[in-house]
Amino acid sequence: MSDWTLCIDFGTAYSKAAVAPAGAWSRFDPATVRPLMLSPEGQNTFLLDSAVFVDEDRVLFGRVALEEADAQADNKRAALRSFKTLLSVSDLDRALNTNAPTTIDPHRVFQMRDLIVLYLAYLLASVERAIVSDPMLAQGGTFTRRYAAPAWRGGDSAGMHDVIVRLFGEAEAFRAAVGKRILSPDGLSLKTISDALPSATEQAESLEMGLIFEATAAAAYTSVGLEGSGSHMIVVDMGAGTTDIAALARLGPRTIELPEARVTLKQAGDFIDRVIANKVLDAAKWAKRPDARTELWTTLMRQMGDIKEAVMADGRATLRNQGRSVSVALRDVEKDEDFRDFQKSLRQAYDHALAIVRDDARARGRSEVQTIAVGGGASSPFIQDLIRRKMESARPRIVPRPATPDWAHAREFRGNLAPVFPQLAIAIGGALAPDSMLAARGGISPPANDRSDIPVERD
C-alpha cells in the first residue's frame, strides 16, 4: 500500500482530479501520475460536468443534469453551473445563503449553499468510484486531499479556505448518508435530500484538505523532475473570464508567492471571442437583417472554440453560414482598438510583475526566471510573444517553458497524455506539488495577504 496525494480541480465547466504518490515531487516518475476517470459518460472520462439540475421530483448531476436542462430550456429551466464564479464573490456567506433563482430551483427549497454541497457530494462520490476502479489506487493506502483554486478576490482565497473546507465537510457527511445512490443517472429524490441534508449539514466537520493556488499548481507540473530548474517563475493564466498573472519564488523546499506582482485583468477568452465575432459580422456583408445577424452570431458562438484556435494557431479561420464562407484573420483581430488596448494593458501588467520577480531573483542571487502561459489562451501568439520576449538586461535570464511539459510526452502514455494535458494540468500539478507549495492546509488558513508565511516543511 502507498500513500497518495489527491488534487481536485473544481472547474467552471468541468471538475477534474488527479492522484500522485506522496513524495512524487522529490522522486518523480511520470508513470505514477494517475488522472482520475471521474465520469462514465462521454469520450473524455476525465471530465466531470460541473452541473446540478433541480427537476420535478429529484435532483440530477453532471452530464445528465445538462441534458435535462437542455430538454427543458424552453420552459425557462436551467442547470446551476457557475459554482466557481459563485465561490469567488466578495461576500461569500451572503451568496451561499441566497435562494437559488426559480429558473434553477422552481420549488424554492434550496439555497445556493445546498446545491453546492450536493454537487460536491456528487464530485466526492465520483472521485471515490474512480479510485476504486483504478487498479493501482484500489490497492489501498492513505489519500491526502487538496483542491485547486485561483487567487480569488485579489488575494483572499486563502481566507476563504475555511468556508470551502466546511462545504466539503458537509458534502462528505451527505455522501456518507446517501451512499452510492448519488451516482445514479436518476439522481436523488427531493425526499431523500430533504431527509439527509439538514442532519448532514449539522453534523459535518471541516474536511482535512489543502488549498493550492492554480498558478502554483502550474509551477509544480512545469518544474517537477527538472534538475536545477529556476527558482523564480511568472505564470500568465488566460481563462475565459480573467487573465491572471502571478509570480512565484522557490526558496529551498518552500514556494512563496510574490503578492505585489499579482495582477488580474478582466479581459480574457470571452473578450477575444467577442472581438472575433464582431469582425466576422463586419465581414459577412450578406447578414444585414437582425435575424440573419442573430443566426450568424449563434453559429459563431457555437463554433468559437475551434474558430479562435484556428485564428490564433494558423492566423486565419473560415466558417460557413447559410451556404457562404466567411473568413477572419489574426491581423484583423490585432487591428481592433479594444484588442490593442487589452494587449497594452496585458503588456504593462506583465512588465510590472516581471520587474518584481526579476528584482526578487536578483536580490537572492538567482540567475533565471521561468515564464509559462497556462489556461485556454496559453497558445495565443501574443501571449507566447509576451513570455518569450527578450529583456534589455541579460540577468536574470528569461527561460520560457512549454505549456505542456516534456514529461507529459513520456513513452508510458503512448502519446495520449499530452493532447489532454491542458485540461488536466491543474489537477495533476496540484497532486505533484509538495506540501510546502500549499496556500493553506487542513481547516486552517494563514492570515490573509500573508501567503509567504507558509511554514517550511520537507516533502
Partner 1 sequence: MSAGDKKSKSKKSAARQRAAQGVSLTDALAEAAWAEADAALAQALADFDETQTAEGARARKDALERLGQALSRAARKRGLARLGSLEDELTYDPDAHDLNEAVAKTPKTIRIQARGVTRGGEVLTKPRVGRVSRKKRS
Q: Can you tell me which of 144, 208, 413, 459 binds partner 1, judged by CB under 8 A?
A: 413
- Binders of partner 1 among residues 353 to 412 (CB under 8 A) are 404, 406, 408-409, 412
325 belongs to the binding site for partner 1 (CB under 8 A): yes
- Measured from the Cβ of residue 265, the count of other Cβ atoms closer than 10 Å reads 17
Q: Of the two residues 103 and 343, which places its CB atom closer to partner 1 in the complex?
A: 103
CA 342 to CA 336: how far, in whole Å?
10
Q: Of the two residues 46 and 213, which places its CB atom closer to partner 1 in the complex?
A: 46
309 belongs to the binding site for partner 1 (CB under 8 A): yes
Q: Which of 21, 50, 46 is nearest to 33 (CA)?
A: 21
185 belongs to the binding site for partner 1 (CB under 8 A): yes
- Binders of partner 1 among residues 194 to 253 (CB under 8 A) are none
Report the nearest approach of partner 1 to the CB of residue 55 (Å). 5
Q: Can you tell me which of 306, 338, 385, 450 binds partner 1, judged by CB under 8 A?
A: 306
First to last CA, the chain: 19
29 belongs to the binding site for partner 1 (CB under 8 A): no
Report the nearest approach of partner 1 to the CB of residue 84 (Å). 22
Q: Of the two residues 13 and 356, which places its CB atom closer to partner 1 in the complex?
A: 13
The pairing of strands 2-10 and 141-149 is parallel
**Whether the Cβ atoms of residue 459 and residue 253 lie closer than 8 Å to each other:** yes
Residue in this structure with the C-alpha cell 429558473, named with its chain if needed: 103
Q: Can you tell me which of 414, 447, 453, 456 binds partner 1, judged by CB under 8 A?
A: 414
Q: Can you tell me which of 82, 102, 416, 449 binds partner 1, judged by CB under 8 A?
A: 416
- Binders of partner 1 among residues 420 to 449 (CB under 8 A) are 420
CA 286 to CA 264: how far, in whole Å?
39
Task: Mark residues 44-83: x for contact with partner 1 by CB under 8 A, - for none.
Answer: xxxx-----x-xxxx-x---x--xx--x------------
Q: Which residues contact 271 (CB under 8 A, 6 or more apart)?
A: 338, 342
The alpha carbons of the chain give a radius of gyration, in whole angstroms, of: 23
Q: Which of 265, 8, 271 is nearest to 154 (CA)?
A: 265
Q: Which residues contact 362 (CB under 8 A, 6 or more apart)?
A: 395, 396
- Cell readout for 322 is 447559410
State the DSSP H helix or E strand holding residue 354, giving kind and residue range, or none if neither.
Answer: helix 337-363
CA 200 to CA 174: how far, in whole Å?
5
Q: Of the two residues 143 and 413, which places its CB atom closer to partner 1 in the complex?
A: 413
Report the nearest approach of partner 1 to the CB of residue 112 (Å). 22
The piece of 130-138, 159-167, 202-210, 222-230 that touches partner 1 (CB under 8 A) is 130-138
Report the nearest approach of partner 1 to the CB of residue 134 (Å). 7
302 belongs to the binding site for partner 1 (CB under 8 A): no
Q: How many alpha carbons lie under 13 Å from residue 1 in its C-beta half-sphere?
A: 7
CA 275 to CA 318: how far, in whole Å?
16
The piece of 1-9, 151-159, 181-189, 270-278 that touches partner 1 (CB under 8 A) is 181-189
Task: Mark residues 89-128: x for contact with partner 1 by CB under 8 A, - for none.
Answer: ----------------------------------------
317 belongs to the binding site for partner 1 (CB under 8 A): yes
40 belongs to the binding site for partner 1 (CB under 8 A): yes
Residue in this structure with the C-alpha cell 513520456, named with its chain if needed: 410
Q: Which residues contact 178 (CB under 8 A, 6 or more apart)?
A: 121, 188, 192, 196
CA distances from 113 to 61, 80, 125, 170, 181 (A): 15, 12, 18, 10, 21
Q: Which residues bind partner 1 (CB under 8 A)?
A: 34-35, 37, 40-47, 53, 55-58, 60, 64, 67-68, 71, 133-135, 185-187, 306, 309-310, 313-314, 316-320, 325, 327, 404, 406, 408-409, 412-420
